[in-house]
């Protein structure tokens, strides 16, 4: 039997069929790979590398290590219990002199200012003064120049700088920071804004997702069941927002919802309200505008799933004795779940990253994580914080996706 099988598994030219198959397969794979190569390179260079870089920036910061090499080296032996000894001060004086000469004090000052707000300018001024020091002992001299150099928390910070990696940015992003002795402590209230911000981001995203579901599901149902004549028209109305710029739509909401906007004037005119309602630059405006923008993203996957549900299913349920609502709820609705899951997931994940809309129609307390990332990137040039917030957002999204996948199963989802 075995020999026969082996004999059969050879082509006419005596080459084993398995080898031939492998060769053909390899050629096929190679061709497929060549086809996707440009996109692969594009994604790698334009997407994967920057994101990797960003994730890296969230924990990597070698400012102090490179700009204050002597001090950080001298501190590696420091136990942190008391102020360091003269040799560390000598190294510090040397580093400050060099930084002053190389005009690098700004970067050092900025880095120190992140963790110890208000000290940045003092670092710069003391560096200017330290550059005139010519001989030791440096310890009293530096403390004399600025009491800053006699502070435990400053030295702890410099010692942490001896590692190129820091958890500072990530800790800040969840409202923790380092105390005077490098212990992890909760951020003081004026700094503890991020946890709220994440919760707000989550809350707005959930709210918008729920709103798009409530508004979108009935429309999707109508679209899927109406005769083509009407459903085409309705479909155009649904996807129309897709063809308008996001900015234009957001501004349109400003026009509609502002104090003396169309909606307020109408409600006043109908005597439904006596005072103009505050509909914009707050949470209401943010949710309304985002819901409008996200509606098609939720609706279309649901619609495409509904389109595949045979009408005979509900008919069968009716003939089996189910009333119209029961048939809908037990037979039709469960079959739309993959679409609902896909639509909500899409909208929810997109919402997490919203930035322009909350910035334009939201108040200061409606800014989401995207706004903060933009703020740190564009205004403060604090790449560490921007990266840390971005990394947390990305991780949270992936975790959510994972959980969702476990609960619902992404393979059951239909994206249209």
Partner 1 sequence: MRHSINLTRLKQADAHDLDRAREKLQSVKKQHGDLAVGGAATAGAAQGPGRGLMSGTNSAFVKFSEVQKTYDGDTLVVKNLNLDIARGEFLTMLGPSGSGKTTTLMMLAGFEVPTNGSILLEARSIDAMPPHKRDIGMVFQSYALFPHMTVEENLAFPLKVRKLGRAEIEPRVKRALERVRLGGYGKRRPAQLSGGQQQRVALARALVFDPKLVLMDEPLGALDKQLREQMQLEIKHIHEDLGVTIVYVTHDQSEALTMSDRIAVFDDGIIQQLAPPAELYERPQNAFVAQFIGENNQLHGKVVAMNGTTCKVEIAGAGNVQALAINVDAVGRPTVLSLRPERVQLNPTPGTLPNVFSAEVAEVIYLGDHVRTRVSVCGHNDFVIKLPNSEGLVRLEPGAAITVGWKTEDCRALDAN
Under the rule (CB under 8 A), what is the footprint of partner 1?
310, 312-313, 315-324, 326-327, 330-331, 334-335, 337
Q: State the number of CA atoms in the 13 A half-sphere of 4 facing the CB.
A: 1
The least distance separating partner 1 from the CB of residue 307, rounded to whole angstroms, comes to 15
Name which of 219 and 317 has its Cβ closer to partner 1.
317
Name which of 118 and 321 has its Cβ closer to partner 1.
321
Q: Among residues 305, 328, 334, 304, which one has the least CA distance to residue 316? A: 328
Name which of 324 and 416 has its Cβ closer to partner 1.
324
Using CB atoms within 10 Å of the CB of residue 356, give its burial: 0 to 12 exposed, 13 to 18 middle, 19+ buried.
Answer: middle
The least distance separating partner 1 from the CB of residue 336, rounded to whole angstroms, comes to 10
Q: State the number of CA atoms in the 13 A half-sphere of 349 facing the CB.
A: 16
Residues sharing a CB contact under 8 Å with residue 321, sequence separation 6 or more, in sequence order: none
Name which of 2 and 407 has its Cβ closer to partner 1.
407
Name which of 221 and 332 has its Cβ closer to partner 1.
332
Residues sharing a CB contact under 8 Å with residue 241, sequence separation 6 or more, in sequence order: 249, 292, 293, 295, 296
Name which of 343 and 358 has its Cβ closer to partner 1.
343
| Six-digit token string for 142 | 């530096």
The least distance separating partner 1 from the CB of residue 327, rounded to whole angstroms, comes to 8
The least distance separating partner 1 from the CB of residue 217, rounded to whole angstroms, comes to 17
Q: What ranges in 44-133 are assigned the alpha helix state H?
A: 49-57, 63-67, 69-74, 86-101, 105-115, 120-130
The least distance separating partner 1 from the CB of residue 346, rounded to whole angstroms, comes to 22
The least distance separating partner 1 from the CB of residue 221, rounded to whole angstroms, comes to 17
Helix axis angle for 283-308 and 194-225, nearest 10°, is 40
Name which of 91 and 331 has its Cβ closer to partner 1.
331
> How far apart, in whole angstroms, are the C-alpha atoms of residue 146 and residue 238?
65
The least distance separating partner 1 from the CB of residue 219, rounded to whole angstroms, comes to 23
The least distance separating partner 1 from the CB of residue 225, rounded to whole angstroms, comes to 14
Name which of 119 and 413 has its Cβ closer to partner 1.
413
> How far apart, in whole angstroms, are the C-alpha atoms of residue 146 and residue 294?
55
Q: Among residues 158, 156, 159, 125, which one has the least CA distance to residue 142? A: 125
> How far apart, in whole angstroms, are the C-alpha atoms of residue 75 and residue 86?
11
- How many C-beta atoms surround the C-beta of residue 151 within 10 A? 16
């Amino acid at each position: 039997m075995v020999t026969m099988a082996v004999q059969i598994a050879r082509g006419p030219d005596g080459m084993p069929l398995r080898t031939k198959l492998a060769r053909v397969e390899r050629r096929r794979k190679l061709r497929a790979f060549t086809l996707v190569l440009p996109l692969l390179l594009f994604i790698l260079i334009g997407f994967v590398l920057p994101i990797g870089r960003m994730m890296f920036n969230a924990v990597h910061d070698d400012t102090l290590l490179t700009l204050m090499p002597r001090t950080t080296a001298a501190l590696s032996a420091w136990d942190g219990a008391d102020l360091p000894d003269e040799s560390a001060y000598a190294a510090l004086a040397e580093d400050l002199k060099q930084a002053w000469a190389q005009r690098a004090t700004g970067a050092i000052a900025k880095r120190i200012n992140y963790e110890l707000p208000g000290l940045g300018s003092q670092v710069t001024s003391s560096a200017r003064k330290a550059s005139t020091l010519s001989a030791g002992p440096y310890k009293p001299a530096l403390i004399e120049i600025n009491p800053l150099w006699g502070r435990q928390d400053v030295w702890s910070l410099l010692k942490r700088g001896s590692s190129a990696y820091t958890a500072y940015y990530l800790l800040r992003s969840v409202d923790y920071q380092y105390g005077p002795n490098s212990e992890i402590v909760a951020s003081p209230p004026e700094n503890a804004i991020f946890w709220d911000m994440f919760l707000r981001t989550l809350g707005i995203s959930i709210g918008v997702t729920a709103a798009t579901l409530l508004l979108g599901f009935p429309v999707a149902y109508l679209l899927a069941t109406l005769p083509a004549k009407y459903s085409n028209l309705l479909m155009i109305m649904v996807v129309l927002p897709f063809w308008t710029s996001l900015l234009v739509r957001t501004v349109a909401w400003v026009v509609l919802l502002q104090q003396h906007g169309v909606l307020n004037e109408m409600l006043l005119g109908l005597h439904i309200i006596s005072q103009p309602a505050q509909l914009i630059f707050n949470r209401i405006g943010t949710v309304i505008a985002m819901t409008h923008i996200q509606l098609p993203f939720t609706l279309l996957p649901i619609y495409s799933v509904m389109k595949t549900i045979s009408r005979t299913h509900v008919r069968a349920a009716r003939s089996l004795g189910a009333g119209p609502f029961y048939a809908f709820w037990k037979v039709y609705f469960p079959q739309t779940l993959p679409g609902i899951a896909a639509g909500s997931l899409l909208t929810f994940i997109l919402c997490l990253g919203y930035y322009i809309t909350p910035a334009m129609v939201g108040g200061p307390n409606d800014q989401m994580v995207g706004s903060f990332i933009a703020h740190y990137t564009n205004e403060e040039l604090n790449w560490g914080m921007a990266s840390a917030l971005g990394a947390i957002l990305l991780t949270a999204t992936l975790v959510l996706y994972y959980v969702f996948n476990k609960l619902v199963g992404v393979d059951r989802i239909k994206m249209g």
